[in-house]
Structure formats: structure tokens, C-alpha cells
Chain A
């Protein structure tokens, strides 16, 4: 005779095992919002623009890193980036600064190409994911003010990339200084 239901009991031992381990620190659940899953540095949600400055400051044309070269708009797969190149107020000639910058959040696919291919470290991927809201018509077109964050903020979310960037810039500056120093005596002589 076959006894049915033994498999069921066998299966329940897994449940029992998990029940017991849950009292020994083996809980797998991350109780959001009290606790959050640790996000790795490369985590990407929406793009952000970087300006040189501290948190709480407002970005200015002098501090913005973007040069309006347009590479981010050109690599963007769903074409959700819109850039207006700035003009010199005195001469009306185009300058290497963005005066307007839009990202249509409802088209963006969070692929990170803009950040990957930006030659000026001006656009990066933000970690903020708590973005749910009751409206999209106005608030989902991020403009240049909404997009800008400070280098201080960026250094906090992306410590490794920030460290690499600083090291690279320092190496470049050193190289330049060395080249200048090597050139000087020659010029004098």
C-alpha cells in the first residue's frame, strides 16, 4: 500500500528549516523603508548633471561642467535628452555651456550611455529611486535646475569614481606642470 502525503511533510521540513533560521539572523527580507538594500556604486536610475561646488549651492554657468557638446544626446537610445547651447550675452556667439537641458523621464531607459560616454564627467547616473508621485505632466520633464547636483553629492554617491577622477586630474595637472617646467628653461635659453 502506498502512503500519500509523505512528500508533503517532507516539503514542509524546508519551511520549518527556514522558520528556525529566521530566528538565527537568517532573515532575507530587507524591511524597506526602515532599512534599505545597499546600492552598489554603479547603480543607475536617472541621469544627473554635475557642477563644481558644495551641496546646497545653486549651479552657475561658471561652475557647470556640461559644455553642450551634445554627445549624451547623440548616444541616447530613446532620444530623451534635449540641450540648448548657451550664448554669450554680450556678443550672442555660442559658448561651450548648456543654457537649457531637459530629460524626459518618461522616455529615459536608465541605460547609462550618457554617463558612460560623456568626456567631461558632467553627466552621471543618480541613485535616487524614490520618485513616485501623483503627477507627470510637469514634474517628469527634468530641466537644468532639477538635474544639477554638486560634486560634493556626487563624491558621496560615487566615492570610487570620484577618487579615480581626482587621481586622473591630478596626474594630468602634474604632467602639464612638468611639461611647463621643462619648457621654461628652454624658452629662457
Chain B
């Protein structure tokens, strides 16, 4: 017998084994796993529990994905968990800011394995349109491993569902044998980044120290932002710093038309001075603003604080201190509000250059003719959106003092400080409240914001006038049409353009539809905050979806409409718009509002939880610069559409609903009543809309705006939205400021909450109706 034959003849043992295999099920470990893996993966892929955690605009689309039209429950992923301990999917939905990223990393670390991460939208993936901002992280993947990226700004709910399916397919390919979390070694925690003079990734500490110690200068930019000297002020507006309080008091008390409402307070950085500007209005008589200006030198700038006359100046003065470094003498709690204590520099100063600074104004020459793509990371010193002072050593960084709230509490009380947010299901975004409680009762409350500060104003001052439109969409991302409207009319005033009739009607229709959808949303989520978890919100979102369909049809996007242009709108309404809009306004929406009103307004739980809670008396509401439903819920009949009519609002017949109680219930009722009034306006506008042009003049992209300044405002659903623009005659604004109602309405939050229970704080915040994109800008 040859060797070969011997080799191929099976031995008896082998034959026995083969026989055994044929008749008895003996599965080796690998084979068993192969059978187990599909079952095990099926279990995990079909029960992905996302963390209830939203950052920015994308979070709204995420909520819509969970609502009835898209219904994420069909994928077993409807259990949005408020605690990271119970969640296994983190959907990073929106812009990741430097101030927020330590919290995100901490949440991720707290999630048990196996855990997955979807990066939703351009911002989460790489910073998106806000990438160049000084407070924006260039992608969550700089810190956390990402499973699925979704491009889009924002991705639609269906795009998110597609990403979820992609993730499920990825899970299907996993095996118990190779899965990280089944190994012996524990998953490594990601070190929580530190907020020093800029964001510090602690894994790069040594590298950062070395670069800072080498003192290698940052590459010098080719061009610095140009500065202009302060232009001559109009008669009577310029006030000496020492006379400011006297003059304001005088205006406040003047007999015929008391200027009792401080609407806007901001600052402009000129070559020779900082100019702080105040816009005062009269809630009794309406009419245009009285502007006051105070100039202060570039070195050690100080201006007296208006806090003693207008408590509503509080957050606005803090913002000017934070972004411009102008001190307010007499402000009891002057500390940063949007950035964190310890941050290096005052970013809105013209000489402050962000790490990704490329040039003083867009259009950047690197993009065209020889536009070879290069990521911003590739051309900067630290390879990331960070900069540190010379000699900085992360290991020796000490957190500066003065971050804690400046509250005065009677010592006799046994108090405790509790943090609500920035990651909390009821704060409507990344908003934080520091609460001092005596048992369950609030002794003091201080709002902390800036977790979504994405540098809207700094980016806008580099943008051309036209480019700002899509950025305004992302302020109050529920009401992008209203934001477009406000910005358009502010700049049109400087340009001296008047839109044609049809465009005016289209604008009003869009703005009022926006008001209806916002109030649906706000009411739905107020009920959410009261504990009626998601049911009223689901029905409210349904109506909102139908209005979004109209927006999408006209503008191309559900949320980021970018629909208005200087002197008109971007495109005429498609032919099917008006019939659909008519049927919605005349049939469907009245029924939906009526239903909401019928079931909620006299509901015993809603009434008991809302009546007498969070009372803001009439005088306080005015002094605190409250706006919109918050102001009118305190019995002040003040609505910009009536007080200083813009566009064609003077033609319509509508009322300004007010309720005198000033509590959560009154604000709720104002919103319901306003929806009825909006429908009234819509019916008139839809009846009267003429045919014709939709844009005055030719559509231009390279617009120059004549030199000058203007403060334009509109009544947005959340309150008075103002745009303060200063033009030096070039193609981009010299100064651009947004008076954000969500931000300023929060000034009174602490006062409203005093003496109430923690559960009431949530309802009070819900009744103010904030949106963080606008609060933090």
C-alpha cells in the first residue's frame, strides 16, 4: 500500500466521528455562535433605545421621527430614555459646541455597552455651516466613535429612519465572538474634555503643552477685518456715560409717551470706541423707538448698568460683557453668559480672530478658479478649531472663580443646589437652570445658557448680506419663515426697497402659518412638561406636519425655508399651494384648534397645574423686557403688528388677545387665542392675495447696502424679534445683532419661579416657550 493511500483512508476513529456527526448534534463553539448571532443581533437591532437627548435643529426632526407621521416605533426604537444608563443609542442631533461637549462625552461614558452613535446632520458630523465658529466642535467624531453619519442640514425624518436601518444592518454583521463588550477588557472611557482658555482634549495635553511652549506663532492671516470710526449719531441719541441713567429715567417718566420698554441693548466695536446702543419703546402708545447711544473708550471700557431701572437689561448686559468686554458699572452679577468663565478673549471684538479665521469677509478667494479642497483642520496650528495663549499648560489650568450664581439666600434655610440641564428632557434643548431649593421649594433660580451658542453674529458679520438668510433660519428653527421676514424688512429699510403686493401677502401668509405651527408645538410641549407625556404633543405635531408640507412645497425645505429675499420672496407659490392652504386654514386647522381648546382649556389637571403658577405681574413683565405671549399673558396689550405695523398688517382685521393674570395658564390661553387671530388674518390674506410680481427689481446675489444703521423688528411667535444692522456700504454688515425673544424672556424666569415647586419650574419654562437656537444664537 502506498503512502498516499494510507493518508486518505480514514481511521476507525474518524469514521466513528463522522457517524456520530451524522446522527448526533455536536456543534463546536463556532458553529453554535453562528446560530446564536442572528438571534442575538435581531434582539439588539430591534430594540435600540435612543437617549432622550437633542442638541439643535436636528433634534426637532428627531422628535418628528418619533411622532405619528414617521413613527420610529415601527423599528422598536421609540423608547427614548431620559437616563443614559438605560439607553444604547445616542443620536447626536445638531451642533456640538465646545461648552456642551464635556456633557456629551460624560453621557456617552455613562451609557452601558453595547452602545451605538448616530451623528445626525452636517453639524454633528463636522461642524456644518457653523464650523468656522469659535464655540463649535468640528465633529463629534473628534471625541466619540460614530457608527452612522447622516449628511443634510437638517436630515429629514425619513433620512434618520434610513440611518437607523443602516445601523441595524451594521448590527446584523456583528458577532458575539468579536464584539468588544464581550471581551474581558472593559471599554475604555473617553476622557471628558476640559474647558480652559479654549476646549482642551485631555488626550492631547502633552502635544498642546509642547506647541504652546515652543511659542511658535500662529500663521498670520493675510487680511484683518477692516474697522470704521464711529459715524455721526443722530440728534439727541448720543449720551455721556454719566448722564445715561438720568436720561433713561426721564424718558421712562415722560408724560405723553413714556418709554417704558427696553427692547434692545447691544454694542458695536468701532475703531475709536465701543458704542453701546439702547432701543426704548412705549408699550402704552406704541410707535417708533427712541435710540440712545453711549460711547466708551477702547481701553478699559465701562458703561453704567441699567439694572436699577430696567431689570430686563440683565442678560443683555452680560452678553455685551461676554462678547465685547464692556463692563457695566453697577451690574450685580456681571459674568459671562454665552461662553464660559475662563474663555480667552471677547469674541465679537473685531480684532478677535477665530482659529479657523480665513479672511475678513466672504467670498474667500481660495474657493474659486484654483479651488483645491482643503479642510479647515489642515491649515491651522493645532489641527483643530482651538487656540491657546502662549505657554499654556493644560495640567496647570485652574478653573477661575466666580462661576457660581450670585444669589442671596437667608442663612436660616437648609438649602441645596440642584442642576436641571443642560441635558434634561424638560428644558427644551441644552438649557440649564441652577436651582437653590429648600426641600421642594425654589429659593432662587439662575438660568445658565450658551450650550448652543454657535456664533451666529460673528459668522454673519463675515457673510454677505444675502448669505445671512439661511443662517437666520437656524435661529428659531421652528419659525424660520418669521426669522427670514424680520431680517428682510430690517435690511430693506436700509436699502429703500419695497416688495410688490403679492410678495407682501405671501410673507404674511407664511408668517401667520408659522405662528400657528409654533403655538401648536408650544402647547403640545407645555402639556408634555405638565406630565401628559407626548399624547397632546403628538396631535399637535400632526397639524404642524401639514403646515410644513406647505413650506416644503413653496421653499423646498420643511424647516430651513430660506424663502424670503430683499424685496420679495425667492420663488412664486406653486399652483397647488393656495388650494391646499385654503382647505387647511378653513377646514382642518379650526377643527384642530377647537379640539385642543375643548379638551385642554378646562381640563382639571391643566387648570390646577397652571393657574396661579409663575405669576409675572404687569409692571414686572414690562420692566423685564418680556415679549410676545409672555408679555400679553401679563395683560399688556402690546404687539408689534399693531404698535408699529410693518409689511401690510395694518390692512387686516385682528385683535391682540391679552389675559391679565400673568400666570402659566394666561400664557397658554394667549397662545390659543392667537392661533384663532392668525387664522383670521390668513383667511383675509388668502382671499385678497393678488397675482403679480414676487420680487422688486432683479434677483441679485452681490448686494451692497447703503451705509447706515437700522433696528427692525417683527412680532415672531415667541415675541419681538429684532435685527440691529449697521452697514458701512460694503457687501457685508459691519454689525449685525439679533434681539432674541427666547433669550430676553428668560431674564424673568428666576423671578417667576421663586416660591414654587421644582415640578412647577418645568411648567413655567414650558410656558415661556424658548428655543435654544435663538436663546444662544
Contacts and interface: CB of A to CB of B under 8 A. Distances in A.
6 contacts: A29-B69, A40-B574, A42-B554, A75-B464, A82-B371, A160-B574
A77 B603 contact: no
Contacts of B125: 106, 136, 140
Nearest to B468: A77
Contact of B373 (A76, A82, A111): A82
A108 B605 CA distance: 46
Interface residues of B, number: 82
B184 interface: no
A31 B69 CA distance: 8
A126 B163 CA distance: 18
B371 A113 contact: no
A109 B153 contact: yes
A15 B599 CA distance: 12
Interface of B: 68-71, 74, 118, 122, 125-132, 139, 141, 146-153, 155-156, 158-159, 161-163, 165-166, 170, 358, 362-364, 366-373, 375, 463-464, 466-471, 473-474, 535, 539, 542, 545, 549, 552-557, 560, 562, 570-571, 574, 595, 599, 603-605, 699, 701-702
Interface string A4-47: 10010011001100000000000011111100110111111110
Contacts of A7: 603-605
B557 A100 contact: no
A133 B470 contact: no
A136 B147 CA distance: 11
B149 A134 contact: yes
Contact of B371 (A37, A43, A100): A100
B150 A132 contact: yes
Nearest to B558: A43
Contacts of A105: 122, 151
Contact of A77 (B467, B535, B549): B467
Contacts of A45: 152
B599 A129 contact: no
B68 A28 contact: yes
Interface of A: 4, 7, 10-11, 14-15, 28-33, 36-37, 39-46, 68, 70-71, 73-79, 81-85, 94, 100, 102, 104-113, 116-117, 125, 129-136, 140-141, 160
Nearest to B542: A28
For the complex of A and B, 9 pairs with smallest distance between CB atoms: A106-B126, A82-B371, A132-B163, A111-B470, A77-B467, A42-B556, A70-B368, A109-B129, A78-B129
Contact of A130 (B141, B159, B370, B557): B159
Contacts of A134: 146-149, 166, 170
B71 A84 contact: no
B367 A79 contact: yes
A116 B570 contact: yes
A106 B467 contact: no
Contact of B149 (A29, A30, A136, A141): A136
Taking each of A44, A77, A109, A113, which has the highest tally of chain B beta carbons within 10 Å of its own beta carbon?
A: A109
B69 A125 contact: no
A140 B147 CA distance: 15
Contact of B129 (A15, A41, A77): A77
A110 B129 CA distance: 10
A173 to B, nearest CB: 23
A81 B131 CA distance: 14
B161 A75 contact: no
Nearest to B602: A7
Given A83-B367, A102-B371, 17 more contacts: A28-B69, A30-B70, A31-B74, A33-B162, A42-B554, A44-B557, A74-B368, A77-B129, A77-B471, A78-B130, A102-B372, A104-B375, A111-B560, A112-B557, A131-B159, A132-B163, A140-B149
B556 A43 contact: yes
Nearest to B363: A74
A129 B368 contact: no
Contacts of A107: 122, 126-129, 131
A140 to B, nearest CB: 6
A18 B159 CA distance: 27
A126 to B, nearest CB: 11
Contacts of A116: 570, 699
A94 B699 CA distance: 29
Contacts of B131: 78, 106-107
Contact of B128 (A85, A109, A129): A109
Nearest to A125: B556
A76 B372 CA distance: 16
A100 B372 CA distance: 8
A109 B369 contact: no
Which residue among A10, A40, A134 has the maximum number of chain B CB atoms within 10 Å of its CB? A40
Nearest to A36: B158
B591 to A, nearest CB: 12
Contact of A79 (B364, B555, B595, B605): B364
B162 A130 contact: yes
Nearest to B120: A132
B574 to A, nearest CB: 7
A136 B372 contact: no
- Name, among A81, A102, A111, the residue most crowded by chain B CB atoms within 10 Å (CB to CB): A111
A16 B372 CA distance: 60
Contact of A15 (B152, B535, B549, B605): B535
A32 B372 contact: no
Contacts of B132: 78
A106 B121 CA distance: 8
Contacts of A74: 363, 367-368, 701-702
A106 B373 contact: no
Nearest to B158: A32
Contacts of B364: 79
A74 B731 CA distance: 12
A46 B128 contact: no
B158 A73 contact: no
B552 A40 contact: yes
A132 B571 contact: no
Contacts of B118: 132
A112 B128 CA distance: 15
Contacts of A112: 556-557, 562
Given A43-B552, A131-B159, A82 B571 contact: no
Contacts of B605: 7
Contacts of B129: 77-78, 107-109
Given A40-B553, A82-B367, A46 B603 contact: no
B159 A129 contact: yes
Nearest to A4: B604
Nearest to B596: A14
A132 B158 contact: no
Nearest to A44: B556
B550 to A, nearest CB: 10
Contacts of A42: 552-556, 571, 574
Given A30-B70, A32-B161, A77-B467, A113 B701 contact: yes
B148 A133 contact: yes
A29 B362 CA distance: 43
B69 A131 contact: no
Nearest to A106: B126
- B69, B152, B162, B545 — most chain A CB neighbours (10 Å): B152
Among B68, B371, B604, chain A packs the most CB atoms within 10 A around the CB of: B371
Contact of A131 (B150, B362, B368): B150
B367 A11 contact: no
B560 A129 contact: no
A31 B539 CA distance: 18
B149 A70 contact: no
Contacts of A14: 539, 595, 599
Nearest to B595: A14
Contacts of A73: 363, 367-368, 371
B139 A106 contact: yes
Interface centre among A32, A81, A131, A140 (most CB of B within 10 A): A32
Contacts of A140: 125-126, 149, 151
Contacts of A41: 574
A102 B71 CA distance: 36
Nearest to A117: B701
